[in-house]
Structure 1
Amino acid sequence: MKTLKEAPYDQRGNLMHYPEDSYCNDAETGTSAWVPPDWRPISTFTATLTLTGRRRGRSAAYFMWTDQDGHEWPMFLTDLDYLISSATITNGIVTGTWTVGKRGANFGVRYVSSPEGGA
């Protein structure tokens, strides 16, 4: 099994569910260009995420979460199952330790544990 080392992020710092180039406008220079994903090393991180909705991609439905800094994090349905059975979620908000996983060509955030070390 191959170890996942990097995940794609867009120019605003959101985890991309599917890695693809984005068309961006540069207000300072007045230019536009296709920009590739920003591939970042995968590590665990602590954040408070708020459930903001659901979407459908090319091959999968997924849920969207937003962190305290406004960054978006997609989550696979199977990872939501684990989150619901392992974490305390209040009004669609959960704090914990997270990492990024991959299924097929898609990426999503995964719950690792609570800040107190549970789950």
Structure 2
Amino acid sequence: MPKGQYQIPFDKDGNQQHYAEGSWITGENGRPQRVGPEWRDNAPFVTTLTYVGYSRGRSAAYFDFKDHNGKLVVVFLKDFEDMIPHLVKGSVSGSFKFIKRGMNYGCQLIEAGL
């Protein structure tokens, strides 16, 4: 992949992961098996994100949002500041992209109101 382009980790349920890590499932013969994450290409997308809470990761604090399909995405504190003027009753609609900061992944507003 060219420099600056990277894939984004998602869990088995289609939620964007803040930090890439697999999950445990029951594999063959009932033995635990680690799977994932599912890596997806990073392309801009249009949706409505609704605030659902906040969390702390290994090295960052971030906000949790759900998209119009009920899937979770993560927004870094720094990027949330740019969203604040566009929030209406806890939601923001527009064009978004995913970003990577260190080993962490988040979602960033590109253009509001689409």
Give the TM-score normalised by the residue count of structure 1. Answer: 0.85
1:32 is displaced (CA, Å) by 4.5
- Percent identity of equivalent pairs: 37
Task: Write the letter of the residue equivalent to 1:59.
Answer: S
Alignment correspondent of 1:22: 23
Alignment correspondent of 1:6: 7
- Equivalent residues in 2 for 1:5-84, closer than 5 Å: 5-25=6-26, 32-84=32-84
Q: Aligned partners of 1:60, 1:6: CA distance in 2, in Å?
A: 20
Alignment correspondent of 1:111: 109
1:24 is displaced (CA, Å) by 2.5
RMSD (CA atoms): 1.7
Alignment gaps of 5+ in structure 2: none
* SS of 1:50 mapped into structure 2: strand
1:83 is displaced (CA, Å) by 1.5
Is the CA contact (8 Å cut-off) linking 2:95 and 2:111 kept in structure 1? yes
Q: Aligned partners of 1:58, 1:83: CA distance in 2, in Å?
A: 24
Cα–Cα, structure 1 residues 31 and 71, in superposed 2: closer, same or farther, change >3 Å?
farther
